[in-house]
Chains A and B, each alone.
Chain A
């Protein structure tokens, strides 16, 4: 491939960048107790929730930004961020898609997500989050029939306070880390899922995230609870419009799986990564943790991370129940000046717990990527088993790929294995494909998709297709 052509492809601008002009109901930038009170009041929250938020805020004040990650970004001015933004007149929220602002629907069209069609065809219930407030929820009745609660966290706080009180912060406590504390203080929306005992959720649940108003940090809070023998698969996907200023995103996701429950959580993340100089782009600081509280419970994380300027994300599993299983499948692609420090933690506490980690990192351009993982086996976790595979693919000589796997093993009946490789796409592999008439670009796509296959096959069907396309777009022309 001609190098200019390649350059062009590498430089191709973010195709999904655009701005929808919808008036926002935004608080002035800054964070203090009154901001939190404003958010809480705006959401019509009960007193205990406000107290919970303030408690988090006070812990956050005493904390400092973590600096251990292999990331380089200017300090964030938390007082320059606006902590609340909602589409106009939240009390007049549309009750069905027909009532949704046509401009919003247009936005979804541009994203290639025809919400109504997609929802109907794929049988997916969509709780679309647009600028921090849920604007539409579909398939609610069908879910209600099965007894599954799927709503925004704000509604859950209002309608199911006992469940929220019991589980919120039980996996990721308010003071868990800097970003989790910030989220606990100011979270504006997110999803709440409750699957009652013995119920297998009749459809895959999905939330599409959008970040829209400039300067607005988005603080999502997701809480999924699976009672005994219940099952759910949750999909999270996101894109964002092109912006010049860095947008902060600090989400918290908590999963609770009781006896024999199974939660599958899949993410495709394609936020704006910044321009070729690394300007703009989303800062993504996420705390995701699953608690395998019950015996034989099963939590599986699958993620495809192609966006964001900064990714700081470690979906983890606390394997407390006997025979519980934790899984982490990840593909992370960084190009341009993107930086990703991502991985997982598998904490084996109960007997016969098992965990699998498969992480595939692809680094191109001037990007840097790190896998950071912890496998901890406690003294009581008899016969614990872990297998970790993390591979990195380097494309170009100006990028970096790093691996920092921690293993803390305190038990002689456990078996823990870690293996990692770092290499580039082999000249011989490319030559082999090209000699059979496959263009270089297609050959690269084939090789990269093959490299990521172990992870893609864990994704739900429609997500896998999207992920593959996303990967090809992100990397087109990055190889020569």
Chain B
């Protein structure tokens, strides 16, 4: 039996168990399944998957979770300790107990996809799948075939939400691995403002497969900060694509922070469709052992006077492997564009590998575009300079690694996220030392 068939069989069983659903959903599911069956899992001869081997997923046998039970104590430890509007999914199943949506500000809708479909499926139907077509990747097709749960967030025009909105995905250490195919749908109305946090965490022994597809639409002058904090268990397999569409004068800021997972692939695609649209991509990953993280980003400058800036950093230790592929596409007649891209990687081990490809594809002439990519190690001179000032070798290395991450982390305005990442980066360093001391020293240095 082919790898794909295993998934298609699970799908068929699921479809049979499902009750009646609107025809459009069934049709889209069908289209997703047909596409997935036609193309199958990607392999290394496909350019977009050249460096990422998904056989661990293709050959896996994953069932679908049917409950959202999760130890409250563990959940409390994993949950970001901030006041937030919260939607929680356990292995893809909505958990009412771990969600907090009691005090929704006016103009804000936050609900699980299953509820949204039940209440008014036609309102969801128009947006769902508009940006993430089934032909984007075999995983999008697979997700579409299984899609039934996820988050729907709508901001009415002019709504400014101060409290962050957290979409939390928890992974359980099940007896047998499970898979989930969540969808996230965000529609930010004109002049609305919000911060959304997509947070992945779980029990340490988990070996589940998450296949997430997110679609984000920013109307005129909307401002959205989108954090992804991926701290999934190191056995988890994680595929995600984030599709963004921006209207006139809108501003999108993405933070793509990856620490966990055995095999991680993130795709971010942003269409800047009207003048004045601006996007900022910030990315950081820290991997060790045999972790594999692949970040593919794409900015489409489809309109004149649009702006993009990208800064991705990778820190690799052990036998980890990192992949970065950043592409900037400037369409014909998209004049007066500014597009900048920077990718820097720090290799802490001889067995780690980084494959990076910053691409520019430009069809207009009045543009300012640049990209840079570097790979290197900690500067021995800088270590020496610190040591002459009485800081020991380990502390010096830790500080410099944190400083390397700092360029990206300084953009993070949510302290709780910054601290988590910084502690993880420092804490996972090969030589362990006084973490709190280090972070304190680092932040004290920063304050000076």
Contacts and interface: CB of A to CB of B under 8 A. Distances in A.
Given A404-B357, A408-B353, A412-B352, A394 B362 contact: yes
B345 to A, nearest CB: 7
B332 A407 contact: no
Interface string B358-389: 11111111111111111111000000000000
Contact of B372 (A399, A419, A422): A419
A397 B349 contact: no
Contacts of A406: 355-357
A399 B364 CA distance: 7
**Among B51, B359, B365, B371, residue most surrounded by chain A Cβ atoms (within 10 Å):** B365
B347 interface: yes
Contacts of A396: 365
Contacts of B392: none
**Among A395, A399, A422, A424, residue most surrounded by chain B Cβ atoms (within 10 Å):** A422
A416 B364 CA distance: 29
A409 interface: yes
Given A406-B355, A409-B345, A422-B360, A397 B366 contact: yes
Interface in A372-411: 379, 392, 394-411
B375 A414 contact: yes
A412 B349 contact: yes
A405 B348 CA distance: 23
A412 B372 CA distance: 19
Contacts of B371: 403, 418-420
Given A407-B375, A416-B374, A397 B335 contact: yes
A392 B362 CA distance: 10
Nearest to B327: A404
Contacts of B364: 394, 397
A412 B377 contact: yes
A423 interface: yes
Contacts of A401: 360, 362
Interface in A136-157: none
Given A400-B362, A422-B367, A415 B372 contact: no
B366 A417 contact: no
A418 B373 contact: yes
A419 B47 CA distance: 22
A410 B356 CA distance: 11
Contact of A407 (B352, B369, B373, B377): B373
B374 A417 contact: yes
Contacts of B351: 379, 410
B350 interface: yes
A6 to B, nearest CB: 15
Contact of A418 (B333, B354, B358): B358
Contacts of A379: 350-351
Contacts of B377: 412-413, 415
A208 B186 CA distance: 63
Contact of B353 (A410, A413, A423): A410
Contacts of A404: 357, 359
B376 A402 contact: no
Contacts, number: 117
Contacts of A416: 373-376
A48 interface: no
Interface string B23-63: 00000000000000000000000010001000000000000
Given A68-B47, A412-B352, A414-B375, A419 B362 contact: no
B296 to A, nearest CB: 14
A159 B353 CA distance: 47
A411 B370 contact: no
Given A400-B362, A409-B355, A417 B350 contact: no
B358 A397 contact: no
B374 A418 contact: yes
Interface in B47-104: 47, 51
A160 to B, nearest CB: 40
A422 B370 contact: yes
Nearest to A377: B375
**Among B356, B362, B377, residue most surrounded by chain A Cβ atoms (within 10 Å):** B362
Contacts of B352: 410, 412
A420 B362 contact: no
A392 B51 CA distance: 27
A416 B367 CA distance: 26
A420 B370 contact: yes
Interface string B197-238: 000000000000000000000000000000000000000000
A397 B365 contact: yes
A401 B367 CA distance: 11
B354 A409 contact: yes
Nearest to B316: A412
B350 A422 contact: no
Interface in B324-354: 332-333, 335, 345, 347-354
A421 interface: yes
A54 B55 CA distance: 39
A57 to B, nearest CB: 25
B375 A423 contact: no
Contacts of A398: 332
B365 A399 contact: yes
Contacts of B374: 415-418
Contacts of B362: 392, 394, 400-402, 422
A412 B347 contact: yes
Contacts of B372: 417-420
A379 B319 CA distance: 11
Given A407-B355, A416-B375, A421 B361 contact: no
**Among B47, B354, B360, residue most surrounded by chain A Cβ atoms (within 10 Å):** B360
Nearest to B47: A68
Contact of A423 (B350, B368, B373): B368
Interface in B289-333: 332-333
Nearest to A412: B347
Given A68-B47, A411-B347, A416-B374, 10 more contacts: A394-B362, A401-B360, A403-B361, A405-B359, A406-B357, A415-B374, A417-B373, A418-B371, A422-B362, A424-B366
30 contacts: A379-B350, A392-B362, A394-B364, A394-B365, A395-B365, A397-B364, A398-B332, A400-B361, A402-B359, A403-B358, A404-B357, A405-B358, A407-B354, A407-B357, A408-B354, A409-B345, A409-B356, A412-B347, A415-B375, A416-B374, A416-B375, A417-B373, A417-B374, A417-B376, A418-B373, A418-B374, A422-B360, A422-B369, A423-B369, A424-B366
Interface of B: 47, 51, 332-333, 335, 345, 347-377
Interface of A: 68, 379, 392, 394-424
Q: Which 7 A-B pairs have the closest CB atoms?
A: A412-B347, A394-B365, A422-B369, A419-B372, A410-B353, A415-B376, A403-B360
